[in-house]
């Protein structure tokens, strides 16, 4: 079956079930008639920009940008994408560099996203600093924000 159909199936699976591992995802795809290897699923996870978030039933589960960041209006998403210069995780901190004067705009978008992992934020003229609880959460938030910018 085609790659696009497989990607659609993966997105459907992770939207309707808590999938914690690539092996679980392989099993769910097999149940839907897809013959895949773990290496193929690994590439699909990367291509779809999937990331892990805390689950309700399981410790973690796969999620996608469109699921968690879908609440952003097209205007807010465009504002964020045009003002971000770089995103970097530094331990439990995330440093976003913006165009001069755009720090507050980026901060508004991040506040709109209401990430549970972000304990607080500070927006300056051309920088936004996000404070997360753990190093892992800092990396996760940086990856999620990068996925928004990179589409």
Among residues 49, 67, 85, the one where a domain terminates is 67
Q: What is the pLDDT of residues 60-92, one digit of tens each?
A: 888 775 544 556 777 778 888 999 999 999 999
Residues 28 and 89 reside in one and the same domain? no
Residues 58 and 123 reside in one and the same domain? no
Partner residues linked to 128 by β-bridges: 96, 123
The single-letter DSSP state of residue 151 is -
Q: What is the pLDDT of residues 26-37, one digit of tens each?
A: 999 999 999 999
Q: What is the pLDDT of residues 51-65, one digit of tens each?
A: 777 777 877 888 775
Q: What is the pLDDT of residue 70?
A: 52
Q: What is the pLDDT of residue 67?
A: 46
Q: How far apart are CA 63 and CA 18, in angstroms?
A: 9
Q: What is the pLDDT of residues 99-139, one digit of tens each?
A: 999 999 899 888 888 888 899 999 999 999 999 999 999 99
Q: Characterize 9-43 residue by residue with b for buried, 16 or more Cβ atoms within 10 angstroms of its Cβ, and e for exposed.
A: bbbebbeebbbbebebbbebbeeeebebeeebbee
Residues 61 and 74 reside in one and the same domain? no
**What residue numbers bound the domain in which 47 lies?**
3-67
Assigned token pair, 65: 């940008």
Total residues belonging to the chain: 151
Q: What is the pLDDT of residues 127-137, one digit of tens each?
A: 999 999 999 99
Distances (CA, A) of 130 to 42, 74, 114, 146: 29, 23, 12, 14
Residues 89 and 137 reside in one and the same domain? yes
Return the higher-pLDDT residue of 134 and 1: 134
**Domain holding 100: CATH number?**
3.30.1360.40
**Coil, strand or helix: which one is 100?**
coil
């Amino acid at each position: 079956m085609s790659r696009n159909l497989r990607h659609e199936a993966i997105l459907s699976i992770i939207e309707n079930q808590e999938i914690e591992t690539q092996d679980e995802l392989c099993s769910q795809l097999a149940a839907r008639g897809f013959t895949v290897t773990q290496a193929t699923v690994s590439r699909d996870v990367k291509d779809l920009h999937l990331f892990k978030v805390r689950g309700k039933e399981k410790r973690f589960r796969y999620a996608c940008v469109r699921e968690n960041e879908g609440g952003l209006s097209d205007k807010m998403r465009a504002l964020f994408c045009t003002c971000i210069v770089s995103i970097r995780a530094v331990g439990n901190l995330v440093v976003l560099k913006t165009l001069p004067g755009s720090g507050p705009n980026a901060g508004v978008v991040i506040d709109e996203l209401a990430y549970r992992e972000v304990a607080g934020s500070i927006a300056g003229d051309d920088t936004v600093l996000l404070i997360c609880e753990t190093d892992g959460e800092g990396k996760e938030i940086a990856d999620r924000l990068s996925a928004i910018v990179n589409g």
